[in-house]
A and B are shown apart, each in its own frame.
Chain A
Amino acid sequence: MATAVVLVGVFAAGAFRYPHFASWAVVRNLFVDNAFLGIAAVGATFVILSGGIDLSVGSVMAFAATLIASLVERHGMHPALAMSVALLAGLGFGALQGALIRGFRLPPFLVTLAGLFFARGAAFAVHPQSIGIRHPFVAQTLNDTLSLRFHLGAKIMTIPCTVFLLLATFGAAWVALRHTRFGRSVYAIGDDEHAAGLMGLPVARTQVGVYAVSGLCSALAGVAFTLYQQSGDPAACKGLELDAIAAVVIGGTLLTGGVGSVLGTLLGVLILGLIQTLIAFQGDLSSWWTRIAVGALVLLFLGLHRGVEGLARRAAAGPDGRG
């Protein structure tokens, strides 16, 4: 709710201040430039809903992108196959992190912090520099044929396939969280892991699954990033995990788990993107204001969460006000 208000507010502020802000081009770019972040944030939503945290997102993205570029350009593999390999690697890596967290009761932030280190190092081990992809399948089939074109008056607007990838990921995640046993278990574990176990829910399998989903989403975000940049750079996406977490928090998902939705995350991603657009429109503000604004927004929403939690607890405690 509050997220939607902020989103509309930020957009209205932009439209009010800058003459060309409220245009289809801005909206289009908002989706195109943030498609990979959005996909990564979907994975982060699953993890945070279950009460965990995944800090390895950005590194896994860079690893996937570098792996794809290296396989295609240096080993002559077909891009579709290379992308499948990268997705499998992401899935496996996420599952491994989940298994370590679950099996050995290690703190999620520590395991995924090590994962951040490892995936980044592995990306550089695959190839130490950025590789451009010139394979026709990527340039033409995916980025050209699979894009939609609209005629808006005199201009032609192209929507690249990464946007559809983003929307498809969100759709799939929404269905998975709402209408599958896995999704229900994620919410239940985030709410109260112990109670979920007593209810007979597969806690271990779900927890490992959540990190596997996050790894898969990170790799998929890496694929989107490869398409967006037409290259694989092992140094790319540093700190993207923080943006993903910020988007989830701004989207109204509680960091303690159990409450939130993937729809809110989509709105959160759009707000982050809008802030960057606003700063670009302003022109005389530097890019580091983005970081500060994101930090302030996260703080604001955490404060809101705390307030709501406090109210809920007071309501639950009843008239004698205990709790």
Chain B
Amino acid sequence: MRSPLRPIGEAFWSVRWPLAALALLLAFNAAFTPGFFALEVRDGRLFGVLVDILNHGSRVAIVALGMTLVIATGGVDLSVGAVVAISGAVAATLVAQHGAPWPLAMGAALAVSLIAGVWNGVLVTVMRLQPIVATLILMVAGRGVAQLITDGLIITFESPPLAYLGNGSLLGLPVPVAMLAGAFVAFGLVSRRTTLGLFIESIGDNPPAARLAGVPDRLVVLLVYAVCGLCAGAAGLIDCSYIKAADANNAGQLLELDAILAVVLGGTSLAGGRFLLFGSVIGAMIMQTLTKTLYMQNVSADIAPAPKAIAVILVCLLQSPVVRERVRRMRGGGGA
């Protein structure tokens, strides 16, 4: 009989390298960044740098979860940043300018994001465009759509329930963390307890073989892009909730990069196939910790992308088949 703890152990073992990287980053901060691990309780919730990383990292991680599935099918979604902007614009405009109740505003924002995801999926599956190109269209046009919704203005709103998403706390932790936990459990259950996860991996591994084996490949790919859009929409709600405003021009700017990099750092191959949801969450936290570390080392927010880019290229080099082959040869042909 399988021990119920075994899958959890396996999950941790499969992400040992990302975890090691995260531990290394935290160790660096323990040594060089004063006050990095300081935590305090105020008004029944935790405050501190780590909590801040968890809070903002969760937003990236939610997008990264959707992105993981897309990448596992051998695709990529460049439009998530634009969808974040659209989702925030819809929610803020409905609440602030049309006096809509908050559940309607949130529902509408998520519905629009879902439609955006379906649009991407249709372009990929029906028009058979390359995923990079298909999602590039929404990446270009989506921000225009968001600005169209807000009329180019920054829409501020006063809605306690909507502001709660980004600023409230649940069990002492910021709300996005709880949202991430919910999304992670849902993704984990659906992808490991149903055949959907297997379908996704088989499509990413070998599309013709998956089709011949009877996998409904178009439907699955369409679904995956739709889910990715929905995740971006949820992140968009968090994003506009942080600042209690929708800024169509800047919301989710460069988020697609952070999300893709989180997935890659987490150990999911960009070529598709096997995917690691837990790895992507860790990857998102690595990205956020790296960003925060740079800020606390007095690197300006404008310059911070440069060292991030170097870190990412290094990780990709380590993962590349060429380097792995060379390492294997150095070990004398044995080992993994």
Contact = CB atoms under 8 A, between A and B. Distances in A.
Interface in B104-141: 123, 127-130, 132-133, 136-141
Nearest to B123: A299
A294 interface: yes
* A107, A245, A306: residue with the most chain B Cβ atoms closer than 10 Å: A107
A37 to B, nearest CB: 14
B103 interface: no
B262 interface: no
> Main secondary structure on chain A at its contact with chain B?
helix
A246 B136 CA distance: 10
Interface in A157-198: none
B304 A242 contact: no
Interface in A89-133: 100, 103-107, 109-111, 113-118, 120-122, 124-125, 128
A291 B141 contact: yes
Nearest to B312: A114
Interface stretch (A25-33, A202-210, A282-290): A282-290
Interface string A227-252: 00000001100010010011001000
A302 interface: yes
Interface string A285-305: 011111110111011001100
Given A242-B136, A255-B130, A124 B303 contact: yes
B144 A306 contact: no
* B143, B254, B303, B309: residue with the most chain A Cβ atoms closer than 10 Å: B309
B148 interface: yes
* A106, A110, A114, A235: residue with the most chain B Cβ atoms closer than 10 Å: A114
Interface of B: 76, 123, 127-130, 132-133, 136-145, 147-148, 151-152, 254, 257, 260, 264, 270, 300, 302-310, 312-313, 316-317, 320-323
Nearest to A302: B129
11 contacts: A100-B313, A105-B322, A110-B264, A110-B270, A113-B257, A114-B312, A114-B316, A120-B306, A121-B303, A121-B306, A289-B148
A106 B144 contact: no
A239 B317 CA distance: 26
Contacts of B254: 117
B312 A105 contact: no
Nearest to B142: A295
> Main secondary structure on chain B at its contact with chain A?
helix
Given A299-B137, A303-B127, A291 B302 contact: no
The 3 closest A-B pairs by CB, nearest first: A295-B141, A121-B306, A291-B144
B308 A242 contact: no
Contacts of A288: 143-144, 147-148, 152
A53 interface: yes
A117 B257 contact: yes
A141 interface: no
Contact of B309 (A103, A105, A114, A292): A114
A40 B144 CA distance: 22
Interface in A257-287: 286-287
B309 A121 contact: yes
Contacts of A286: 147-148, 151-152
A256 interface: yes
Nearest to A59: B305
A146 B127 CA distance: 48
Contacts of B312: 114, 117
A292 B138 CA distance: 9
B136 A122 contact: no
Contacts of A294: 140-141
Contacts of A110: 260, 264, 270, 316
B317 A104 contact: yes
A117 B257 CA distance: 9
A115 B137 CA distance: 21
A118 B261 CA distance: 14
A287 B143 CA distance: 12
Contact of A295 (B129, B130, B137): B137
A249 B130 CA distance: 13
